[in-house]
Amino acid sequence: MPRTIYQRSDEVLAVLPGLNPEVQIVIRRKEMLVREAQSLFRYGKKIDPNGIYDDLIKRLFRNLLHKADENRIVFARRGKVARKDALEQAIAKAKRNFATRWGKFHDKPTDIQSAYPSEFAGLQVVDYYLWALQRLYEVGEERFFLLLAKDYRLIMDIDDTRNKRYGEWYSDSNPLALEKVQPSNRLGSSG
C-alpha cells in the first residue's frame, strides 16, 4: 500500500531538526491582502504581488545582514522571472533600514541568487517549515509545526496587530502556539 503524503512528511520532518536550522519567517495573511486589494481597487489601483514579496524580504533581512562576514542568499524563483535586481534592491533597502534604525551601516558582501527548490536543498527545507506553519495557521493543525517548533527563531506575523501596530513576533521568549494564532475572521478588529 502506498504511503500518504502525511506519512512521508512525518519522515522528512523528523529529520529536519537534526540539521539545526535557525528559521526566521515573516508572514502576511491572505485575508488581509484581499482586504488591501479591495481597498486599492476602489481607487482604481491594483495590489502588487512583487511589492508585497519585496517588503517581506526587507522586513526579514533588516536585522540579519550585519551578523555574518558574508551573506549568501538564495531566493525561490516565483514564476519564470528571476527578479534578481528587485531582490538585490530589497536587500539594499534592508541594509539602509538597519543603518537608519541603529546608526551603523554594515555593508557586508552579499551574494544573491534566485533558483528553483529542486536546485537548492535549502529551499526545500524552508518549504517544509513554511508548510508546517501554514498548516497551523490555515487549518489549525499543529502536529507538523510541533515537530519543528524549536527551530523557529522568529516568526513575524505582521497582520496580527492586536497588541502591537507592527504585528506579533514569536520567538523563544514568546513561543507560537495554536491558541495564540488569531482567527482570520477577526483580523484588523480590536476583539
Is pLDDT larger for residue 7 or for residue 12? Answer: 12
How far is the CA of 179 from the CAs of 127, 151, 156, 183, in angstroms?
23, 19, 16, 9
Cβ(182)–Cβ(174) under 8 Å? no
Amino acid of residue 129: Y
Counting Cβ atoms within 10 Å, is residue 42 exposed (0-12), middle (13-18) or buried (19+)? exposed
pTM score of the predicted model: 0.82
Cβ–Cβ under 8 Å, residues 127 and 91: no
The CA distance from 14 to 179, in Å, is: 24
Q: How far is residue 102's CA from residue 57's CA, in Å, rounded to a whole number?
A: 19
From residue 32, alpha-carbon distances to 45, 47, 97, 148, 165 in Å are 16, 12, 24, 26, 14
User: 164-186, pLDDT tens digit by residue?
Assistant: 999 999 999 999 999 999 776 54
SS3 162: coil
| pLDDT for position 186 | 47
Q: What is the pLDDT of residues 16-34, one digit of tens each?
A: 988 999 999 999 998 899 9
Neighbours of 49 (CB within 10 A): 12
Residue 190's pLDDT is what? 42
Grid cell listed for 156? 513575524
What value does the mean pLDDT take over residues 79-92?
84
Q: What is the pLDDT of residue 108?
A: 85
Which residues are paired to 72 by β-bridges? 111
Place of cell 533588516: 62
Backbone angles phi, psi at 110, to 5 degrees: -135, 120
- The predicted-structure confidence for 102-146, as pLDDT tens digits, reads as follows 888 878 899 999 898 889 989 999 999 999 999 999 999 999 999
Q: Give the separation between CA 74 and CA 167, rounded to whole angstroms.
A: 26
Which residues, 6+ apart, have CB-to-CB distance to 33 below 8 Å?
A: 47, 52
Q: What is the mean pLDDT of residues 71-76?
A: 91
